[in-house]
Amino acid sequence: MNRLSVEQFKAAEKLPLVVVLDNIRSLHNIGSVFRTADAFLLERIVLCGITACPPHPEMHKTALGAEFTVDWSYVNSTLEAVNNLRNEGYTVFSIEQAERSTMLDKLQLEPGKRYAIVMGNEVKGVQQEVIDASDGCIEIPQYGTKHSLNVSVTAGIVIWDISNKLRATS
Amino acid sequence: MNRLSVEQFKAAEKLPLVVVLDNIRSLHNIGSVFRTADAFLLERIVLCGITACPPHPEMHKTALGAEFTVDWSYVNSTLEAVNNLRNEGYTVFSIEQAERSTMLDKLQLEPGKRYAIVMGNEVKGVQQEVIDASDGCIEIPQYGTKHSLNVSVTAGIVIWDISNKLRATS
């Protein structure tokens, strides 16, 4: 496959998937999510709360330029961002371990629909009011001693899985 | 799902998957791979070349204790590590963009077989002699401007995908 130029990236048809970052503290994690969003041609990233916006030299170390290709916006309230997305017709999933979570490997997506995923703060996770406003929760099944993968790894796994499922049905 | 204690982790049946780290420079990446290997109950990590061994305070920041649960060994030569694994009956895949790569979404695994994946250096990738000694290469299909996800994100995606496929067939 050929690498896209920035102009080709901007013009390319995107995967109908938005990533919402709910108060992500680490600039490395934010940069990494930009890089992953570039790799899978995501529509947009919504930065919320304390999540830093580009440009930022520390973020650049992991984004490596993807902060200039992927569309992004900033909304202070994550709840407002989620409500906006739902009003625009997106199905919104919080990535969180919860009673009613769907395990990622069991997740089924509908062709033609648009999706958003919310990644939560490194320590506190996704805010409860944001979980409540979501259409559901997705959880990565884990079998070890920790049960909390790094935010950028979690985002990578969920974006890969959803990208795969959406491309298979399109 | 319940979190395992360290003793339960050590005693648990592991996924038949080994990760080989070929000269990984970043302690954050090494620590993150340990954390992911803990989450998916991997058999072992083989650290090669300049890849640092636990314990290390910088590695701990991303491993968060997984460096004490997941089995590991150190082999100076990555080529020797791969040859050893193949002699022990493992099918070894280098994670690399190459002419003959299998795209991860097309990868098929055989029930009952044991696998190893080689993650390469952040800049140089997997050494050519290691690629040549592998049974094949796996590539994550990417669509954006960069074509090189972060090592810890790449490891997360590949481990998730292989874990999923092995658990589905077991």
pLDDT tens digits, A17-37: 999 999 999 999 999 999 999
Give A96-136 pLDDT, tens digit per residue.
998 889 999 999 999 899 999 999 999 999 999 999 999 99
CA gap B26, B70 in Å, rounded: 19
β-strands A72-75, A102-103: how paired? unpaired
Residuewise pLDDT in 10s, chain B (170 residues)? 578 999 999 999 999 999 999 999 999 999 999 999 999 999 999 999 999 999 999 999 999 999 999 999 999 999 999 999 999 999 999 999 988 899 999 999 998 999 999 999 999 999 999 999 999 999 999 999 987 899 999 999 999 999 999 998 76
pLDDT of residue B1: 56
pLDDT of residue B53: 98
Of A9, A28, A153, which has the smallest distance from its Cβ to B156's Cβ? A153
Average pLDDT, chain A: 95
For residue B87 the two structure tokens come to: 């002699």
CA gap B71, B165 in Å, rounded: 22
User: Is the Cβ of A34 closer than 8 Å to some Cβ of chain B?
Assistant: no
Share of chain A above pLDDT 90, in %: 92
pLDDT of residue B148: 82
Instruction: Residue A8: list chain B partners with CB under 8 A.
Output: 145
Give B23-54 pLDDT, tens digit per residue.
999 999 999 999 999 999 999 999 999 999 99
- pLDDT-derived band of residue A57, with 50, 70 and 90 as boundaries? very high
CA angle B84, B88, B89 (to 5 degrees): 120
Q: Inter-chain contact B153–A149, Cβ cutoff 8 Å?
A: no
What is the DSSP code (8-state) at residue B25? -
Instruction: Residue B152: list chain A partners with CB under 8 A.
Output: 150, 152-153
Q: Inter-chain contact B146–A5, Cβ cutoff 8 Å?
A: no
A156 to chain B: closest CA residue: B153
Residue owning tokens 């796994």: A157
pLDDT of residue A104: 98
pLDDT of residue A169: 76
User: Is the Cβ of A29 closer than 8 Å to some Cβ of chain B?
Assistant: no
* Identity of the residue numbered B116: A
Q: Inter-chain contact A145–B62, Cβ cutoff 8 Å?
A: no
- pLDDT-derived band of residue A146, with 50, 70 and 90 as boundaries? confident
Of B1, B145, B155, which has the smallest distance from its Cβ to A6's Cβ? B145
User: Is the Cβ of B103 closer than 8 Å to some Cβ of chain A?
Assistant: no
The strand ranges marked E within A76-123 are 91-95, 102-103, 115-119
For residue B60 the two structure tokens come to: 């701990």
CA gap B119, B22 in Å, rounded: 6
Domains of chain A: 6-169 (3.40.1280.10)
Of B3, B32, B161, which has the smallest distance from its Cβ to A153's Cβ? B32
Instruction: Residue A62: list chain B partners with CB under 8 A.
Output: 150
Instruction: Residue B147: list chain A partners with CB under 8 A.
Output: 1, 3, 39
Integer CA distances (angstroms), A81 to A68, B147, B155, in order: 21, 30, 31
